Amino acid sequence: MTVLVTGGAGYIGSHTVALLRQRGRDVVIYDSLELGRPEATLGAPLVVGDIADAELVKATVAEHGVDAVIHFAAYKAAGESMEQPGRYFANNVAKTNTFLDAAREVGVPRIVFSSSCSVYGTPTCLPVDETHPLAPESPYAESKRMVEDMLRWYSVAHDLRSVSLRYFNAAGAAASGLIGEDWTVTLNLVPLVMKAALGRVPQLTVFGTDYPTRDGTGVRDYVHVDDLADAHVRALEYLEAGGETTAVNLGTGVGSTVREVLDCAREVSGVDIPSLDAPRRPGDPAEVYGDNRRAHELLGWRADRNLSTIMASAWQWHSTHPDGYDAAT
């Protein structure tokens, strides 16, 4: 049977597709290519379409014998969602609702959902575990929480079982060097550091140097994208073995400061990356890192790759793909 991967031409989706194929799984990608890139599919079957096109979704499931879905397709910029909340609710929630109805009508019994640690909001305790109250602080985060709720009720009403994976900061690139993060559509720290290393921006701006952390800068939990891909495959296997609907954190259990990320990037690149200290940004918490015990207990998953591996793989990718997929050097 076949796994349908929505958003499979995007960053984490493409790495998950590559791992599924490596493990002998039949895969079909479903992507609008609004933000995804066909080059990232590495030749996997691709259906270009909107997840709200119910008839195309049903036809794709029937044609390819789909019996499981990994659902990545969504907008993901929290800042943009504050400016355009309707766009995020329409795309991430309403379209997902249409997609789920279409998929279940043609018999898809299980789904792995790309959620986010942002559903927790600013942590009240660390490390953040799955019992932490959900308190989204952006329409993006709220949209993830709403889909999680939707999936929980679909499990009750329709026996559509699911795992919502709440991952922390995805980073790095495939060990093969063939796919990675397109920095033209992201504001994540690691690609911003790489832009500064490669001279695409004058320096890295460090927002906040007076936090109550070990060096004054913010702490975040960075997870290698290949480790995240592995977790999605494991979540699928958990459902195939009869696992019940649930939500699971994907973090390393430790955090790295902005300065530690910057220093690591200097080490792996050999570039003295310039930086500029700036005031804190409103709403940025001092520390966020995840408790990963449930992922280990339920899925047998732990992040195998550390910050050095993340930064080395990011440098390999960005230094050879300074314009993303548009031009490799």
Contact 221, 252 (CB under 8 A): yes
Q: What is the CATH number of domain 2-171+222-250?
A: 3.40.50.720
| 183-197 confidence digits (pLDDT tens) | 887 778 999 999 999
Annotated active-site residue 140? The verdict is yes
Return the amino acid letter for 211: Y
Q: Is the pLDDT of residue 324 over 90?
A: no
Confidence (pLDDT) at 150: 98
Q: At 327, is the pLDDT very low, low, confident or very high (cuts 50, 70, 90)?
A: low
**Quick check: 328 pLDDT over 60?**
no
Give CATH for domain 183-221+253-289+304-320: 3.90.25.10
Find the catalytic residue in 30, 140, 211, 289.
Answer: 140
- Please give the distance of CA 237 from its chain centroid, rounded to a whole number: 19
pLDDT in tens, 265-313: 999 999 999 999 999 988 788 999 999 999 999 999 999 999 999 999 9
Domain residue extents for the chain:
2-171+222-250, 183-221+253-289+304-320
Segment 123-181, tens digit of pLDDT: 999 999 999 999 999 999 999 999 999 999 999 999 999 999 999 999 999 999 999 99
CA distance 300 to 302: 7
- The phi and psi torsions of 215 (rounded to 5 degrees) equal -130, 10
Residue ranges of E strands in the chain: 2-6, 26-31, 46-48, 66-71, 110-116, 161-167, 169-171, 204-207, 219-220, 222-224, 246-250, 256-257, 275-278, 287-288
pLDDT, position 38: 96
pLDDT band at 79 (very low <50, low <70, confident <90, very high): confident
pLDDT band at 329 (very low <50, low <70, confident <90, very high): very low
Of 125, 201, 110, residue with least CA distance to 162: 110
